[in-house]
Amino acid sequence: MSEWMAVLRDVCDRHSQAWAAKRIGYSDAVVSGVLKGKYKGDIGAVQKAVEGAFMASVVECPALGPIAANRCLREQREELRPSNPQRVKIWRACRSGCVHSRLKEVEAC
């Protein structure tokens, strides 16, 4: 079993799947599927979320500087809010070639 999976299992044993799911930004069903080895989604994204939330994994964000890996994933999912300059900066960084982004690049960012 991989280290991140062992950490997720331990966290769920100590707290609950719901508690762990909330911390990593996924549903209880996703956590359950991952633990059972039946999750069909992006397992790499779940791994990054677990590493950021429970293993102190940090990435260098071009817009925010050093942030937890799970926050990086959460920021990528946020919608563009043109009235918020920081949100625009983050949105553009996530879509213009950031090495940590799981999103496609968008032209004219």
The sign one gets for the Cα dihedral 97, 103, 108, 109 is negative
User: What does the alpha-carbon distance between residue 106 and residue 54 come to, in Å, rounded to a whole number?
Assistant: 31
The region that residue 73 occupies, defined by phi over 0 for left and psi between -120 and 50 for alpha, beta otherwise, is: alpha
User: What is the reported pTM?
Assistant: 0.81
pLDDT of 104: 78
Kindly state whether residues 47 and 84 are assigned to the same domain: no
Kindly state whether residues 50 and 7 are assigned to the same domain: yes
- Average pLDDT on 57-77 reads 95
Helix-strand-coil split of the chain, %, nearest 5:
55, 5, 40
Kindly state whether residues 50 and 62 are assigned to the same domain: no
Kindly state whether residues 25 and 67 are assigned to the same domain: no
Kindly state whether residues 48 and 10 are assigned to the same domain: yes
Kindly state whether residues 14 and 47 are assigned to the same domain: yes
**C-alpha 64 chain-centroid distance:** 15
Q: What is the mean pLDDT of the chain?
A: 94
In a domain, 103, yes or no: no
Domain with 83, as residue range(s), is 58-94
SS3 65: strand
Provide the number of structural domains found in the chain: 2
- Average pLDDT on 75-79 reads 93
- Average pLDDT on 33-51 reads 96
